[in-house]
Structure 1
Amino acid sequence: MARCRACPTKLFQLPTMKKFLKRILLIITLALALCIGAVALIAVFFQERIAQALTRSINSQLNAELTIGNFEMGIFRSFPDLSANFEEVALQPDQGPELLRAREAAFRIDLMSLLGPSIRVEAITISDGSLNLLTDQRGRSNYDILKAEGEGSPQGGAGEGSSLLIALEQARFENIELRYTNRQRLQAVRAKIEEGVLSGAFSTRQFELASKAKLFCQIVEQDEVAYLPDTEIAYEAIIAVNLEEGTYEMKKVEVDIAGNTFRLDGAVEEWETGTYYDLYATSEDGSLAGVLALLPAPYARKMAGIESTGRFAFNSIIKGQSNASQSPEIRVEFSLDEGQLSHEQLARPLRDVSFQAKLTNGKYRDNSSSVFTLEGFKGYFNRELIEMEASVSNFDAPEIGFNLNGVLPLETAYSLLGNPKITGGDGEVEVKNISIKGKLADMMAPSRMSRVEASGTLEFDDAALTVGEETLLLDRGELAIAGNKLFINGLRLEGAGSDIAFEGSVFNALPVLLADSLNSKGAQLEFEAKLTARSLDIDRLLAFSALTPEEEAEPEPLRDSLAREQLQGRESLTNLLKGTFDARIEAFNYQKIEGEDFMGKLGIANGVMSVEGTANAFAGKLFLNGQTFFENEPRLEARIELQQISVEQLFEQTGNFGQDVLTHRNLSGQLEAKLAVYAFWDSTGHFLMDRLSAIAGIGITNGELKDLDMLEDFSSYVDIRDLRRIRFTDMQNYLEIRDQRLFLPAMFIRSNALNLTVSGEHSFEQDISYFLKVNAGQVLADRFRRHDPNLAPRPAKQRGWFNLYFSILGNLEDYNISSDKRRVQADFELGEVRKKDIRRALEREFGQVQLIEEPDAWRDVNDNGRPGSQDDDYLDFEIGGGR
């Protein structure tokens, strides 16, 4: 009975208990919801006070001041935590430069800690900013900002008396510019952290640090040596950290540099006497590019782009203590077997490559005992074997050993010359036992090159290079090295319309090749050689140094920049050269100018190229002495003497000096001249016409002027047949070019048509001012004589009643002829002064210059440069003429 009575009781109590539990659960849920809601309300309605409390709490624990521009709190995106976002954040240490500036710093806060005495920060994300870490010469760091335990006096929080507890488990960085500088250890890093994460129980003394990051390294500096320039780096690491013992054990560390992955094992320990390293780095699937990227920046940049395939092995060790007095042992070994080396500058890869390389810091574990060796290097260029050995010891004062032997097919190797204008190659250069041994400092200083051992030969076998549309062929010859001397034996260059042979010797080739950008050692390539040419096409050879058609088509600012860079390169090159060529050239041409049998010297020194010699040209003889100054704004000084030159050929081959009024079809005769020219260019290579100047003394014999349209305006006074062919006797005068004008002092011309004196100016814009004096007595007398078909010149004497004076003013397209005695005589007087100035200047350049004077009876200006005393008869009337 009892059991039966109990059963209903239990059946009755079971649903009551369930209902009770549900209520309890509901109450708890509501309570939690109320708490969360309360916290959310606090976050919404009291976020400004919370921001102030957080800021005060952070500042109370730091030897720095945190400032923010704006603050925002949220719960739903970070639930069950609270997010606090600071905007326009800056962290300024009490000493030193600003540590941090960021667009946003987002904190993840334990939600329930807002109700307790301490606000617990578990994670932080810093984005879009800069992080500046600095350690000064005394070892003080601007990032050492945490106050010692018990030093801080936190105050204020969500409510009075609350404090901030930083218990970070994760720190994230996004788009942060990193600048690290340690002036005590001469270290610096400049990088951009694209994304990075640090996680671990940072609030404990022993934890596992997990980290991964992707960054772009701009530069790393150690002891003022730069590394890893513009390099992509990524890593993933797990490190066991024991802050109590100061140990860091590499559990799993992989670093990717330039696409090559290195695995790092071992440990780092902080001792009282320094830092102890026991680290090993290996790479199983790497390439040579990854190792070359670790070299100092100047070498890494030069070797950038080298790629390898094949069995590549890399091992390194860093073991020992590092402090102010000692360094750890460093040993690096890498090798390639059955591999291939390629580069964008190689038309084809170097195949079947094998080598072993070793680097160690040696017995004393410093630069003085460091040694790098490259052994057993061999490979094949187009089935042609090339072998090499190299070594560098004592990095403080490097001693170098280098050996090279083999064949370089230019079809593959032409791009190694580093000139983008060279677009192809053919033939071979045979390298025979090139050997160099000595100290780098001796190799760079010409005065100490005698201490360097150097030998070997380069032989050319139909070696050809394609430059633009031209092909230059070294069909034979050799360069033989003997110490500091390089012998040029039977070297023949063909191509671009030229056939040139070289013989001679060169000094300081190695110091010039190794010279720094400032040439601080003053190295110059000194040479003494013979140049023999069957033909020399100056135009086509100069085209090699001109801008390419593609460069000429660039917009003007870029084109000028390219031209300026090219001129600067030419200036730098010529400053490295010093020597002379004894030159014999059978035939040469420049534009339309053709010459032959040049004999003389071509020299260059201190950026000045000089040419001195004689040649046959224009059916006569040419003597040349000139200098070209390769400066930022190049200039030319030339002294030219012409003997028995054909005026017709001179005008024709020079393009009639750029004008079409008086051309080679109008002139004939023999020319004697002495000419000094001064020409200038700007820094982009543009010829400065306004700065061109020249002085000349000229004489023409057996001259003839034919079919010059301008003279037909005088046909009313002179037989038109005489005007169409004017034959004149010896004529000589002085000329000057300056300010874009040709100045012609008064000059007497005795011809079959008439005797006259002429002076004037002619601008490069074809503006003219000519002044003439004509023997009118002879002209009138000739009207009664029959035409002389022999075109005999008129006597040079005053046998008339009067002289006529004319001015021709205007432009060649529109000019007027009028009579004007006073103006003509004034210009003659001015011309006499100019003539004497030109003559004195020419005598400074050439010595004595002979001048044919006009007859005394014709002078309007006496020896003092003033008008004569006798006043000629003068008729003042206009001549119908002009345009």
Structure 2
Amino acid sequence: MRFLRRALFLIFLLALLPLLAIELFGDPIARRVVAALNERVQTRITVQEYDLSLLRAFPQLAVDLQGVQVEGSDGSALLEADHLACVLDLSSLLGTVRVTSIRLSDGKLQLFTDRDGNTNYQITHTSIGDQAAAGKAEGGAAGALFSLEAAQLDRITLVYQDARLQTDALLTIDEGILSGDFGSSQYTLEVDGTVGVGYFDQDGTRYLDGKALGLSGQLTVDHVTNSYRLTPLRIASRALEVEATGVLTLTDAGVTTNLRLSSTAGELEDVLSLLPPTYAATLGGLETDGRLSLQADITGAWTDRTYPRLTGTLDFRDGKLSSPRMNATAREVDLQATFDYVEGPGGGVQTIAVERLTGSFRGAPFDLRFRLEDLYDPVIAFSANGSLPLDVLPAFLPTATVTGADGLLHFTDLSLTGRYADMIEPRRAARLGSGGTLRADDIVFTLNEQTISLPSGTLELNDNEVAVTALQVVLDGTDVLLDGRGSNLIPVLFADSLNSRDAALRFEATLEGKSLDVAELLAVAGFGDSEITVDRTPTSTPEPTAQIRAQLTDLLHGTFEARVADWQWDAYRGATFRGQFVFLPGRLDVRGLTTAMGGEIGLDAITYFDQTIAVDARLTARGVDAREFFRQSADFGQEVLTSDHLTGTMNAKLLLDLHYDDAGELEYEDLGVLASIEILDGELRDFDLLENFAFALKSGDLERVRFTRLANVFEIRDRTVYIPAMFIQSSAINLTLSGTHTLDQYLDYYVKVNAGQVVTNKLSRHDNSLEVLPARNGLFNVYYTIRGPLESYGVESDKQSVKTNFRRSDYRRDRIRKALADRFRTPIALFDLQGEQDDVAD
């Protein structure tokens, strides 16, 4: 029993001694670790808190440094971490502090290299190997020796920027373990971890966007030669596994590479997923099944002026290719791609070639070839034969704007060769070689919610020339046939989003057909609903599309000679349109003549496509039905004189200044109209405004009022209709009227009535023939103002206000007439007001 008590006491003492040692010497030990770290670097290391624990790393000691900040050699923040845990040998309690491993958690590490090769992480006095040797020989600075065998990184964000190599990367190390003899000038690390790639930008191109890479294997570090040998290092992305072997050597100019890559497992879709987003955006969701083989060598210097050489092969055999975004599977897919560095008279050039890509969709075979030579001045050669079902097209487009595709696109001897610099430069497009034929076969697809059919038609390429023959375009309300020739198609297809090189498809074409729906074509182009409506409630603004429209119209430069049997644009209808559609960069001119509304309408309009869409139009109407004109024009947004009130034959000249928002809705705040309107042999029926003059009319006159000619000019500006003084001679009453009328239906009219004629008219019998009253000076006149909202306006007698308004309106009438005469190059004739303008008795 005594022996047992002594044994228990001894065990207790042995357990208590380390705890007592930690209590007595823990703080000095932790301070010695911090001091040792500071002495080993040229910059400053700060630690907010630190403590020593036996339990966290038993049977070893752990120093937990909290709030660690390390300053870079350029003064920047090199490292910020919540925790830096150092694991110490237990013997550190009795002598020299020995740090055997470290663990860095929840931090940010920033590594920068400027254009001269200077880095912000040159913070040690000597190399790691030399410092370790000094530590072993002398016991280390401040009595602490770093003899690291392992380093663990948890939740560390790494920012890497190298101005020389134009590289910018954001990486996240969730769990990474490095183990080896860090104390030597040359040592081998066992690497095991997962790296999340936020982005990796190289020379303006983004790679590995949002990818997760698994790393495992061996890495030999040589601090004397600044080299890293992979022996091997395994890299995994999804199911793809690649072994990398070889050497990377850091130099003053950059990195010298000598690597070999070989795949051990994976699918083609895994390789495609590693492409830059710019190229891989159209391949999202692509699924493959087949035998993949990848072998590649990367050799040479990577500097700000040179890239390493890439040689090798990528083979995919007996494969299938499918996607949730397409309704067909490519079968029997064989792909052979090669990477090579070809020596030539002017030096070596890098080449990438798809030597063969064959397969079939629903039994229809295809055969594609592609070669790119020289990354610095690319020369491209492309050829294709076969057929492509259109229902696979959505899988290769960056957005889902095209849906419901069907039909076949046949391509025969399609080819394109030349320098990429010539493909994007319109002035050098003649140097390109192209050829082949594309043929539509019952193609149907939906674009911007509009179903488009291309039953037939061909497109032929001949170098820089393109010819379209009998291309039939069918929508719900459109059926036209296109024929024409053009040039510069290739620069247009390769134009950047800003069209910075002013590429434009130059063409001369004809457009003939049974029907044309303008609103449909605008919707296809993304213009939205262009119907004329008056919206009195604010609405949310849709996503801007004006920039896209400007880009599309900037790419067209040519003329369509058009002849269409029937056309429509929302409520407007017409027949036998003959004219031209002239496309200029950022602009569309429409000139033509059409039968519409029972008469003839001539149109000369210019549409400008910029940040906003604007239309400057001249419209001439001859002999049209006034009621139909008002009905199809939605009564111009007002509710006083509508198509329900008016009949007659109308002649008109209108200048229209129209502006549209991004949804294609007319901006009434910016609407401008100058017009001259003449209505012959017309009637006003059930015109409520005449009820205000019932004192001068017999009951039968209120229902139908006939006039032989009603003519005046008017202006719409600032959401207001301006009507200069006009003489209205009718079967019921003769009067002179002027005023304004807002599109919010607020009236401000001024009226002079021939009172002497009123008395005569009131005493006479109702004229069933509705003969127009003669125009004569009255013995006296009466004056009225009509003001207020349409639902509750008031009528008052006010001679002075009426006469003042008439005089002011003379200026507006003359200005409108002059503007119309200048634009239409013809005099504007109005009704003579002289007979009714002066008073005989006031």
Q: TM-score of the superposition, structure 1-length normalised? A: 0.87
Cα distance in 2, alignment partners of residues 123 and 742 from structure 1 = 85
Deviation at 1:498, TM superposition (A): 1.1
**Could you tell me which amino acid in structure 1 is paired with residue 356 of structure 2?**
G
Q: Which whole-Å deviations, capped at 9, do the CAs of 1:175-224 have from their partners, x for residues lacking one?
A: 11111223344444321112211111211345431111211112334455
Cα distance in structure 1, aligned partners of 2:655 and 2:389: 48
Distance 1:519 1:113 in 2: 69
Which amino acid in the other structure matches residue 840 of structure 2?
D
Aligned residue among 74, 88, 92 for 1:113: 92
Q: Distance in 2 between matches of 1:684 and 1:655?
A: 19
- Aligned: 1:754 with 2:713: no
C-alpha deviation, 1:237, in angstroms: 1.3
Aligned to 2:620: 641
d(CA) in 2 for partners of 1:262 and 1:612? 64
Amino acid in structure 2 at the alignment position of 1:125: R
From 808, 815, 838, the counterpart of 1:830: 808
Structure 2 counterpart of 1:39: 21
Give secondary structure in 1 for the equivalent of 2:292.
strand
Superposed counterparts of 1:280-319, under 5 Å: 280-296=260-276, 298-319=278-299
Among 559, 564, 569, the residue aligned to 1:590: 569
Q: Which moved more, 1:503-512 or 1:535-544?
A: 535-544
Letter of the aligned partner of 2:785 in structure 1? S
Rounded Cα–Cα distance in structure 1 between residues aligned with 2:526 and 2:584: 22
Asked if residue 435 in structure 1 is aligned to residue 415 in structure 2, the reply is: yes
2:108 equivalent in structure 1: 130
Task: Name the structure 1 match of 2:118.
Answer: 140
Q: SS of the residue aligned with 1:289?
A: helix
Name the counterpart of 2:522. Answer: 542
8 Å CA contact 1:567, 1:684 repeated in 2: no
Distance 1:39 1:313, change over 3 A: same
**1:677 equivalenced with 2:656 (yes/no):** yes
CA contact (8 A) 1:671 1:699 kept: yes
Q: How much does 1:686 deviate?
A: 5.0
Deviates more, 1:220-229 or 1:459-468: 220-229
Give the structure 1 partner of residue 33 of structure 2: 54
Distance 1:249 1:809 in 2: 91
Give the 5 Å matches for 1:650-799.
650-682=629-661, 687-798=666-777
Q: Cα deviation per residue 1:732-765 (whole Å; 9 max; x = unaligned)?
A: 1110111211111110111111221111111112
Equivalent AA in structure 2 for residue 816 of structure 1: G
| Aligned partner (choices 850, 856, 867) of residue 834 of structure 2 | 856
Question: Is the 8 Å Cα contact of residues 652 and 676 (structure 2) preserved in structure 1?
Answer: yes
Preserved contact between residue 416 and residue 432 of structure 2 (Cα < 8 Å)? yes
> What is the match of residue 171 of structure 2?
191
Equivalent pair of 1:718/1:753 in contact (CA under 8 Å): yes
Give the one of 543, 563, 577 matched to 1:563.
543
Which of 409, 420, 439 is the matching residue for 1:459? Answer: 439
Provide the rounded CA distance (Å) in 2 between the counterparts of 1:717 and 1:23.
132
- 1:488-637 alignment runs, 5 A limit: 488-546=468-526, 562-564=542-544, 566-637=545-616
Instruction: Pick from 356, 361, 377 the counterpart of residue 336 of structure 2.
Output: 356
Kindly indicate whether the alpha-carbon contact (under 8 Å) linking 1:216 and 1:233 is maintained by their aligned counterparts in 2.
Answer: yes
Instruction: Give the equivalent residue in structure 2 for 1:877.
Output: none
Greater alpha carbon shift after TM alignment, 742-751 vs 422-431: 422-431
Which residues of structure 1 form unaligned runs of 5+? Answer: 1-17, 550-558, 861-870, 875-883
- Alignment gaps of 5+ in structure 2: 530-538
115 and 160 in structure 1: CA distance in 2 versus 1, 3 angstrom threshold: farther
Once residues 324 and 161 of structure 1 are traced to their aligned partners in structure 2, the CA distance between those partners, rounded to angstroms, is 40
Structure 1 residues 365, 347: closer, same or farther in 2, change over 3 A?
A: farther
Give the conservation status (yes or no) of the 8 Å contact 2:528–2:663. no
1:243 and 1:794 map into 2 onto residues whose CA distance is 111
Alpha-carbon distance change, 786 to 119 in structure 1, aligned in 2, over 3 angstroms? same
Q: Give the SS at the match of 2:807.
A: helix
Contact kept? 1:326, 1:365, Cα under 8 Å: no
Once residues 698 and 649 of structure 1 are traced to their aligned partners in structure 2, the CA distance between those partners, rounded to angstroms, is 14
User: Aligned to 2:36, what secondary structure does the other structure show?
Assistant: helix
2:240 matched residue in structure 1: 260
- Residues 1:254 and 1:57: Cα distance change in structure 2 (over 3 Å): same
| Separation in 2, partners of 1:222, 1:153 | 38
1:68-103 deviations in whole A, cap 9, x for unaligned? Answer: 122233211211212121222100134342210112
Code of the residue aligned with 1:873 in structure 2: it is A
Q: Which SS does the other structure have where 2:543 is aligned?
A: helix
CA distance, structure 1, for counterparts of residue 214 and residue 132 of structure 2: 38
Pick aligned residue for 1:801 from 779, 797, 803:
779
Counterpart residue identity of residue 808, structure 2: L
Contact 2:73/2:121, CA 8 A, preserved across alignment: no
Q: Is the 8 A contact 2:98 2:145 kept in 1?
A: yes
Q: Secondary structure at the match of 2:456?
A: strand
Point out the more displaced range, 450-459 or 633-642: 633-642
TM-aligned CA distance change 1:664 to 1:363, over 3 Å: same
Letter matched to residue 441 of structure 2? D
Q: Could you tell me how far 1:837 is from its partner in structure 2? A: 1.3
Q: 1:717 to 1:539 in 2, by over 3 A?
A: same
- Partner AA of 2:24 in structure 1: I
Q: How do 1:231-250 and structure 2 match up within 5 A?
A: 231-241=211-221, 249-250=229-230
Q: 1:271: Cα distance to partner?
A: 10
The CA deviation at 1:138 is 3.4
**Equivalence for 2:536:** none
Alignment coverage as a number of residue pairs: 828
Percent pairwise identity: 32
> Measured at CA, do residues 455 and 80 of structure 1 come closer, stay the same or move farther in structure 2, by a change above 3 Å?
same
CA contact (8 A) 1:258 1:293 kept: no
The separation in 2 between residues aligned to 1:185 and 1:801, in whole angstroms, is 97
- Aligned partner of 2:389 in structure 1 is 409
Distance 2:520 2:254 in 1: 67
Secondary structure at the counterpart of residue 201 of structure 1: coil
**Which one-letter code corresponds to 1:380 in the other structure?**
S
Aligned-partner SS, 2:19: helix
- Specify the SS of the correspondent of 1:72: strand
Aligned residue for 1:880?
none
Deviation string for 1:27-55 (max 9, x for gaps)? 87566435313222125xx53x4443322
Pairing of 1:60-79 with structure 2 (within 5 A): 60-79=39-58
How far the C-alpha of 1:810 sits from its partner, in A, is: 1.9
String of CA shifts for 1:288-322, please: whole Å, max 9, x gaps: 23333454553344544433211111111235677
Match of 1:873 in 2: 841
Contact 1:65 1:94 survives alignment (8 Å): no
Matches of 2:51 and 2:244 in 1, distance apart?
A: 42
TM, length-normalised to structure 2: 0.92
Greater Rg by CA: 1
Counterpart amino acid of residue 421 in structure 1: T
SS of equivalent to 1:400: strand
Does the aligned pair in 2 maintain the 1:618–1:649 contact within 8 Å?
yes
Distance in 1, matches of 2:788 and 2:280, equals 67
Letter in 1 for 2:53: G
Provide Cα deviations, 1:818-876, integer angstroms capped at 9, x if missing partner.
Answer: 2221111111101111111111221232122332342533224xxxxxxxxxx6323xx
**Secondary structure, in 3 states, of the residue corresponding to 1:361?**
strand
Q: 1:292, 1:365 → 2: CA distance? A: 34
Distance (whole Å) between structure 2 residues aligned to residue 520 and residue 715 of structure 1: 68
CA shift for structure 1 position 492: 0.8
Larger mean Cα displacement after TM superposition, 430-439 or 676-685:
676-685
Distance 2:283 2:697 in 1: 81
Coordinate RMSD, CA, aligned: 3.1
Counterpart among 368, 379, 385 of residue 359 in structure 2: 379
Greater relative contact order structure (CA < 8 Å, 6+ sep): 2
Shift of 1:532: 0.8
